[in-house]
């Protein structure tokens, strides 16, 4: 495999940019390729089989673009398809993600943790296994993040209506007395300031963007695929959605203007 190919990240939409910003910090010399499957967003409301199909089709596209490594910057896609994807491409290094139940179970002081994630994630076998493995001694309160992905995709990450919605959505977790909250979707990382405001200072909020970026760097180094050049890496962005309409929100969340290419499915 060429060392010069990009590290490719993908998500149902803009959520994975919250992972990619950490990857860019940790891997300044790597070219990065991002695919937002906006044409099919949100994944969280779709049958698992359809999410799996999308993951395979996007992975094939990214590998055809020369990607040397894949990062499923999406909890929902990882829960639905990570094992199958690894089995389908045993020669490709693939990093996935999962809600941070393990660190949360370690961090909690009162034994009550909340997990905010999509329904596909919360109902997935992989999530069930995570709970069995790491959450035997804590109480886990799961909350589907109804409507949150749509709000992030619409750029309403600081909107007053989003804050009102979060207050309502998170109230069962506040009532349950959790002291640790896992953000189980990459989209929610963009809502972190509002979520922290709603939950209050006594609740620790955990997001996995940085640990996944560290894992990406580790896997890249271990597989000997790191770029040895010292030129700043470039970024290339693809979407299956309406590129011109989406450029503004991509640019806003990425922190600089983005030229988005449409890749029809
Ligand atoms: N950003 C995704 C996740 O991590 C997917 C959200 C969705 O499309 O429903 O779960």
Q: Is residue 250 part of a domain?
A: yes
Q: Is residue 48 part of a domain?
A: yes
Contact 113, 105 (CB under 8 A): yes
- In whole angstroms, give the CA distance from residue 217 to residue 225: 10
Domain that holds residue 229: 7-97+210-262
Q: 140 and 230 in one domain?
A: no
Which residues lie below 8 Å from residue 167, measured CB to CB, with a gap of 6+? 198
Q: Is residue 2 part of a domain?
A: no
Residue 43 DSSP symbol = G
Q: Please state the domain count of the chain.
A: 2
Residue 2 has pLDDT above 60, yes or no: no
Q: 92 and 152 in one domain?
A: no
Q: Which tens digit of pLDDT belongs to each residue from 105-157?
A: 999 999 999 999 999 999 999 999 999 999 999 999 999 999 999 999 999 99
Q: Which of helix, strand or coil describes residue 183?
A: strand
Q: 214 and 203 in one domain?
A: no
- In whole angstroms, give the CA distance from residue 210 to residue 186: 11
Count Cα neighbours of 246 within 13 Å in the Cβ-side half-sphere.
24
Q: 221 and 91 in one domain?
A: yes
Q: The CATH number of the domain where 140 resides is what?
A: 3.40.50.1860
Q: 118 and 43 in one domain?
A: no
Contact 24, 214 (CB under 8 A): no
pTM of the model: 0.96
208 lines ligand 1 (CB under 6 A): no
Contact 29, 179 (CB under 8 A): no
Q: 232 and 244 in one domain?
A: yes
Q: 63 and 191 in one domain?
A: no
Q: Which tens digit of pLDDT belongs to each residue from 81-98?
A: 999 999 999 999 999 999
In angstroms, what is the span from residue 173 Cα to ligand 1's centroid?
20
Instruction: Please choose, from the candidates 38, 97, 95, the residue with its C-alpha nearest in 3D space to the C-alpha of residue 68.
Output: 95
Q: 28 and 74 in one domain?
A: yes
φ, ψ (nearest 5 deg) of residue 11: -155, 175
Q: Is residue 145 part of a domain?
A: yes
Q: 27 and 89 in one domain?
A: yes
121 lines ligand 1 (CB under 6 A): yes
Q: 197 and 147 in one domain?
A: yes
Q: Is residue 131 part of a domain?
A: yes
- What is the position in ligand 1's atom list of the atom closest to the CA of 44? 9
Q: Hey, which residues does 223 pair with through a beta bridge?
A: none
């Amino acid at each position: 495999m060429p060392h010069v190919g990009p590290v490719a990240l993908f998500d149902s939409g803009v959520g994975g940019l919250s992972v990619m910003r950490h990857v860019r910090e940790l891997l300044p010399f790597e070219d990065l390729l991002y695919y937002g499957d906006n044409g099919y967003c949100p994944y969280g409301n779709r049958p698992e089989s359809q999410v799996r199909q999308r993951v395979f089709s996007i992975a094939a596209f990214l590998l055809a673009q020369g990607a040397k490594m894949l990062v499923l910057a999406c909890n929902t896609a990882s829960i639905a398809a990570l094992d199958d994807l690894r089995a389908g491409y045993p020669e490709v290094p693939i990093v996935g993600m999962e809600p941070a139940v393990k660190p949360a179970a370690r961090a909690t002081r009162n034994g009550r943790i909340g997990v905010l994630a999509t329904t596909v994630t919360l109902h997935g076998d992989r999530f069930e296994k995570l709970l069995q493995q790491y959450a035997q001694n804590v109480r886990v309160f799961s909350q589907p993040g109804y409507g949150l992905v749509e709000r992030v995709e619409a750029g309403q990450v600081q909107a007053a209506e989003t804050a009102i919605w979060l207050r309502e959505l998170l109230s069962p977790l506040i009532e349950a007395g959790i002291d640790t909250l896992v953000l189980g979707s990459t989209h929610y990382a963009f809502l972190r300031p509002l979520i922290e405001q709603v939950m209050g200072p006594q609740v620790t909020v955990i997001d996995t963007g940085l640990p996944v970026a560290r894992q990406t760097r580790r896997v890249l180094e271990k597989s000997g695929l790191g770029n040895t050049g010292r030129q700043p890496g470039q970024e290339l962005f693809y979407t299956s959605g309406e590129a011109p309409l989406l450029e503004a929100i991509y640019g806003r969340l990425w922190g600089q203007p983005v030229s988005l290419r449409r890749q029809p499915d």
